[in-house]
Amino acid sequence: MRKIQLFLCILAVLVIVLSFSGCTKSDFAVNKAEEVSLADEAYSLLESITANYPNRTIGSEASETFLTYLNNELISYGYEVTEQSFTSKKTKITKNVIAKKTKEESKGKIVLGANWDNMYEYFDSHPDGAYQSGASIATLLAIAKYISTKELIYDVEIVFFAGSSENWNGTQVYVDKLSEKQIEEIKLFVNFGYLAGGDNLYIYSRDNNVSYDSFIREVVSQNNVQGITKTPTFKNIFEATISDNQLYSYSHIGMFGNNVIFMNKQIPSIHFFSMNWSDLSNPICTEIKGMQNVLETSNDTLDNMKNRVSQEKIVSTLDSTIKSTIYTIVDNQEGLINVLQDRGEVVPFFYSNTAYYIFNGVIKILCIAAILLIVVYCKNYISKNKEVYAKLRVEPAGFKVNLEKLKDGSITPEELEDIFKAEEEKLKGVQNKKEDNSSKSSKDDDIISDDDVFQ
């Protein structure tokens, strides 16, 4: 029995260690941020973009009009703006828009990115792409305007990528043109993905623990930013090839964005996106539980977004995203750079489909085994002590009755004498049992002693 108990203890410790390995939380010195309220401004930008520039299909004349607007906005904020032209997979010429804010004796570079294009010309009903890119454009513009006036210790690049509907090929072009030195200079990439059109807002960095992820979550927590949903343990992994020389053998919706292109270069990244990661009714991703997905469909419009999640929820999501970003890269920039010195991007064992499912399977098997062993142990223990439990259930009841009789004076001398005799018989029985056991033990000793003499 002691061996079983020891095994149960070891098994319990093993399950706990495996369950929480990689989930430890570090403490960081986090600054209290200055209150920022840009959500209404971002929402006004979203309304303006979807109303005035609904056609952002790459290669179209209308998209060029939008790119002019985008350039003018960024220049008015004080950024140095350049364009990066390339040919899309549909043989159309399109552009990434890059705005730069430099710092002398910079401690590196932070890149903030979002997609600007949509699929307006792919459907007869012409969706304005509020979910695909509209909300992300508005969010990034609001952030860009705010940080343009702030003193930072690193360079900042604001990048609007083309080709979101073509496996983020604009992002691939941007990253492929980076030299090894430029890749090293990028300390963090922050991506604004599909925002405001889903049930929940998530922040995703890596499947393994990295210090900058913990730091950003600490900033969010300490500054009481609401509306960030915890990343689920089960991430609904599936096979997907997004780019050549892909670092990962699997994908999930946390990797549905420009961030995966940066991840392939082992550049630290943070991805803000709005979906329902816990709901598995859709084999790949669910935007809103119980509703059809609208991403890259004719239903991706601002009006539908408001009907599906409400205008209040849209503003709230934009607010949480903006605050989380600004409080980190402006109000806690020294702490951020410190945690980013160790890039921590070594690919762990769990970056594979097989390993992920084996790990989860082992945890489940260990938990089931521990429960079964505990049940067996309890059953054996109860069975072994059944007679004792039976006496405990019967004897106290009789004793209670006798006490009540004694208390109210209704017990007769004869009944009292019978009680004493019964207890005396019990004592004699216990004593006789002890003597029998002692005698049996003595005989066993004698037999052993005779055998020893015989030998």
**How far, in Å, CA of 315 to CA of 39, rounded?**
6
How many Å apart are CA 199 and CA 279, to the nearest integer? 10
The whole-number pLDDT of residue 19 equals 46
Which run of H or of E encompasses 113?
Answer: strand 109-115
pLDDT, residue 397, reads 47
Q: What is the predicted pLDDT for the residue at 21?
A: 44
- Three-class DSSP category at 384: helix
Would you state the pLDDT for residue 355?
A: 56
d(CA 337, CA 421): 86
CA separation for the pair 284, 74 (Å, rounded)? 35
pLDDT at 407: 59
Please report the pLDDT score of residue 416 as a whole number: 67
Contact 139, 154 (CB under 8 A): no
Q: What is the pLDDT, as a whole number, of residue 6?
A: 55
The DSSP H or E segment spanning 100 is strand 93-101
User: Is the distance from CB of 55 to CB of 127 less than 8 angstroms?
Assistant: no
Instruction: State the pLDDT at residue 240.
Output: 67
Distance, CA of 207 to CA of 190 (rounded, Å) = 16
Phi-psi label, residue 221: left if phi above 0, alpha if psi -120 to 50, beta otherwise: alpha
* Host H or E run for residue 203: strand 200-204
Rounded to whole angstroms, the Cα distance separating 56 from 99 reads 19
Low-confidence ranges of the chain (pLDDT < 50): 15-25, 345-353, 396-398, 447-455
pLDDT given at position 12: 52
Which sequence spans correspond to the domains of the chain?
Answer: 1-25+354-384, 31-351, 388-454
Numbers of helices and strands, H then E, in the chain: 14, 7
Q: Which two tokens stand for residue 238?
A: 């599936």
Helix (H) or strand (E) segment spanning residue 269: strand 269-275
Enumerate residues 6+ apart whose C-beta is below 8 A from 280: 236, 286
Burial class (CB within 10 angstroms; exposed 0-12, middle 13-18, buried 19+) of 323: buried
**Fold observed for domain 31-351:** Aminopeptidase (3.40.630)
